[in-house]
Structure 1
Amino acid sequence: MSHAHEVARLLLIDDHPLIRSGLRLCLEMTTDLRVIGEAEHAEGALAFLHARLARDPLGRTLPHMVLMDLNMPGMGGLSLIEQLHQQFPHIAVLVLSMYDRTDSIVHAIRAGARGYLLKDEPAPHIVAAVHAVMQGRMVFSAEVKMRLSATEAVKQRLTQREREVLAYLSRGYSNKGIAQLLNVSVRTVETHRLNIRGKLNIESQPGLAQYAVEAAQALMPWSDGATPSSDGKDSRVTRAPQEPPSTVPRAPRIPVASPALASLKKDI
């Protein structure tokens, strides 16, 4: 489905009113884009969508796209993307965030986002990205593309076991804990850590720990749905059990255009 020849309805989600106002202004300067709602947090956005769906079960007044930040009070941006992907799969999600960390980017893509822009993008680029996503393409800021490509290159350099060690480091496990989980000796884990540092040109153990937190999820996704948070603890995104109404059309399949994206999308 393409919305190229109709006015696209947008929902803005950001906890800063000034940013929402600026986005609305630049988006509505284009005749084929219309902001139909704003929310400052995930709960408000879901309430807005369910209220619209209650008034029109066919979903004819729902937004075509959500343009949202990740950092927000309450539920949080990543959980909201998952909720939207499950409950409203026809709504495209485009992230506009100040966070350029690899883990944030990868988590957003796996959760169902179709693009990731940084907030320093010029207004015309944001408008162009909205149009591109509405036409079924995935879009990323240049810095985001570089990070995804770098992650893929690192993935090719590390062995499967090294990626497992890195992933457990991101969860805050000690060498002894990792050894027990992998059924190997502590010395073997220490050797893997040393090899990882050498391959990635990381000089210190704290540097390795920081890298693990930021990038391990892209290199070794968890099968149980858990994702490492910035403090090294597990965080779980609750999947919504509700199915969207059968009358609401599903989103078009997004083509995967690069090996890096293919690697990320295969685990969704």
Structure 2
Amino acid sequence: MIRVLLVDDHPLVLDGINACLSGEPNIEVVGQANNGLEALELAEALSPDVVLMDVSMPVMNGLEATKELKLRFPDFRVLILSMHENREYILQLIQSGAAGYVLKDVSSKELVKAIEVVHQGGTYFSSRASDALIRPFDSGRRNTGVSDSRPSLTKREETVLKLLAEGGSNKDIARQLDISVRTVETHRQNIKQKLNIQTAAGLAKYAIENNLV
């Protein structure tokens, strides 16, 4: 059972998400908060597995709350659910420790998938959120020097990184590539070491910025 804390300042949105998730046999909504400060208090009291967080809220916004949550409770997974597809918003939240970013126009099925992927230790970005991150690099990559300065990953490491960025768990990747979970873990550690990136969200950001996904 995945324990989820909902955080949004609109009661109608909370009711809608709650209704959407109530029929899922493996998801339990354990609490609802109207701002980031309430989210911190409830997170401490309820120990959710996943915090489904809005960005624009009074008292304490989603960015500040995500930073504080990851500082206090590093094991909690934060999934951003927002109406904003602004690249800077998304990058800031990834850097703050969010494990995924989905826009509020996603289907119920995709939201459930995002929660499951994040809970399993993966990262998840809805298609429009990914597009917002990738778009500047599609048009100006030749002038940025990104490809020239990129650390040298093997083809297999690039494949593993791509699958990680798409939300795959170690087990999923092992099954897809027909290799052992231990081998995937080794590739993952090598990638982290080469890129000097230690978080799953950071790896996803790198993969997106370098057009690996």
Could you tell me the TM-score, scaled by structure 2's length? 0.67
Larger radius of gyration: 1
Note the C-alpha offset of 1:261: 3.9
Note the C-alpha offset of 1:13: 0.2
RMSD of Structure 2 on Structure 1 (CA):
2.2
Query: Which residue in the other structure is 1:36 paired with?
Result: 30
Alignment-mate amino acid for residue 13 of structure 2: I
After TM superposition, list the pairs within 5 Å mapping 1:80-99 onto structure 2: 80-99=65-84
Alignment-mate amino acid for residue 156 of structure 1: R
> Percent sequence identity over matched residues?
35
Contact kept in structure 1, 2:134 and 2:209, CA below 8 Å = no
Query: Which residue in the other structure is 2:155 paired with?
Result: none
* Residue of 9, 16, 30 corresponding to 2:10: 16
Separation in 1 of the partners of 2:39 and 2:50?
12
After TM superposition, list the pairs within 5 Å mapping 1:59-70 onto structure 2: 61-70=46-55
Aligned length: 157
Contact kept in structure 2, 1:152 and 1:260, CA below 8 Å = no
* Residue of 185, 200, 204 corresponding to 1:254: 200
Change (3 A) 1:27 1:45: same
Contact kept in structure 1, 2:2 and 2:26, CA below 8 Å = yes
* Residue of 104, 108, 111 corresponding to 1:119: 104
Note the C-alpha offset of 1:154: 5.3
Question: What 5-or-longer segments of structure 1 have no aligned partner?
Answer: 1-6, 53-60, 161-251, 264-268
Alignment-mate amino acid for residue 43 of structure 2: L
Per chain length, whose mean CA-contact separation is higher, i.e. which structure has more relative contact order (CA < 8 Å, sep 6+)? 1
Note the C-alpha offset of 1:39: 0.3
Separation in 2 of the partners of 1:259 and 1:46?
29
1:53-106 C-alpha deviation (Å, 9 max, x unpaired):
xxxxxxxx5100100110100121111110011111111000000000111011
Change (3 A) 1:74 1:154: farther
Note the C-alpha offset of 1:151: 3.2
SS in 2 for 1:72: coil
* Residue of 120, 129, 142 corresponding to 1:135: 120
Change (3 A) 1:260 1:149: farther
Separation in 2 of the partners of 1:84 and 1:151?
30
Alignment-mate amino acid for residue 135 of structure 1: Q
SS in 1 for 2:132: helix
Alignment-mate amino acid for residue 67 of structure 1: L
Could you tell me the TM-score, scaled by structure 1's length? 0.54
Separation in 2 of the partners of 1:79 and 1:142?
25
Task: Please state which structure has a larger fraction of its residues in helix.
Answer: 2
